[in-house]
Amino acid sequence: MSSVIRSNPRYLTFYYFSASVIGALVGTVVRFPPYCLLAAISLYKKPKVALFLFFFFLSNLILITNSHLENVKNVEFVGTVKSVQDESSILSLSYYDGKRWRKLGYDVRLYERLDVGTIVYLKGELKRTRSYPVFYVKPDVIVKVRNYVSLKSKIFEAFRKFRNFSREVEPFYPSLFGEASRDEFFVKSGLFHIFCVSGMHVSMLYVISGKFVSFLVHRRSARLILPLILPTIFVLGSGLNIPAVRALAMIYVSALFKLIDVKINPVNVVSLTGLFMVLFNPEIVLSLSFYMTFLATLGVLIYEGKFKSFLSGLGGFLGSAPFVSLVSGVNVLSPIATIIVSFPVQAIMFGLTLSFLSFVLSFHSLSKLLLYALLPFVWFVRFMASLFSKLPLLPSHWVIALTFGFTFGIYIMLTEELEKLQE
């Protein structure tokens, strides 16, 4: 892989992204002194090496893995829910040191699902975990107040009401619009990524919005900016989880470069997004979903040749499979299942978007009519999920994970050679 990076500038940002990830991971064991940043800068005559070391040391330095509040009882905290993950909440908190309130400076998990934007007061202690976030709060006292002023809270509340509304027609719908789902058929079929909020949903909404805006607006800047509105609202309403935030950030980065007329390939876009996310919040490198979403996206984008429509699905599968196989069995035919259901899922997402907009505008009858119209697509997707779920799975094992990782590396090299042959 290193030889590929040296010979191909499309991987240059991935090189720096990898440096930031490695630096943060090393930071969980060894912390380097601040003057190492100066040592990296001193190598400016070798810019690639200098930048690699700079991002390595920077992420290592800003990673937070220790807290003087750990296991201290009866600490007072106040803050807000910044995002939700499955059945828990990620909090942004301040603590009272006896004289004044101080910003905590890192994310904290609360094992209770609350609405995004909810204001919380807690009294308890911080405990350490081995994943992102590094700490969780164990409260003895908790007070929750809904934030009626925050736009983010209002958007999340609107999505929650629509999810409850759509559930009356089909329980399947809420899982496509921000609600956690663990349907056994979808997990075993390898289609679970479709039914949890992921980058795929955000990308679909951006494409749908872009096509709609292109019919109404001809100004180039407006055609790049206006389609960002709906995906942004969706990410806020679905709880700001890592895959959705990654996809939205990537779309923003791509749109920015297009606005300033700078060509940048998709691999560098996703790598630059990852670099920003790690430097903004280094603790994210302890999240399994962080690696899964980035490598799956890399697998989708790595090949840009004439067979892209087929190989992108295979690349996405191989990019995520090493991490999936660490926690569950893997259906090796899931790329085929994904291709089969891709159009029905796109139709459902488009219909759900129209239904949501109708619901927000208080056209509830029209909203429900659209939900009923989508049912044939839902039945087809359920049937395919049920069919593929009956196939045998590769067991969850670290050897399987390593094999998939090795296969993904081979896939990257083969697609590079394939693109050269097609030039």
Report CA Rg, the chain: 22
Task: Give CA–CA dist 371/354, Å, rounded.
Answer: 9
Amino acid of residue 13: T
Residue ranges covered by each domain of the chain: 2-62, 75-148, 154-286+331-392
Ordered DSSP codes for 230-244: HHHHHHHHTT--HHH
Q: Which uninterrupted H or E stretch holds 155?
A: helix 151-167
Span 21-68, pLDDT tens digits: 999 999 888 888 888 888 888 888 888 899 999 999 999 998 877 777
Q: Answer yes or no: pTM beyond 0.95.
A: no
Strand bridging mode 101-110 / 75-85? unpaired
pLDDT band (50, 70, 90) for residue 334: confident
Task: Give CA–CA dist 192/186, Å, rounded.
Answer: 5
**Cis, bond preceding 282 (omega within 30 deg of 0):** no
pLDDT band (50, 70, 90) for residue 153: confident
Task: Give CA–CA dist 294/12, Å, rounded.
Answer: 16
Q: What CATH code would you report for 75-148?
A: 2.40.50
Dihedral of CA 148/154/156/159: which sign? positive
Q: What is the largest CA-CA distance in the chain?
A: 68
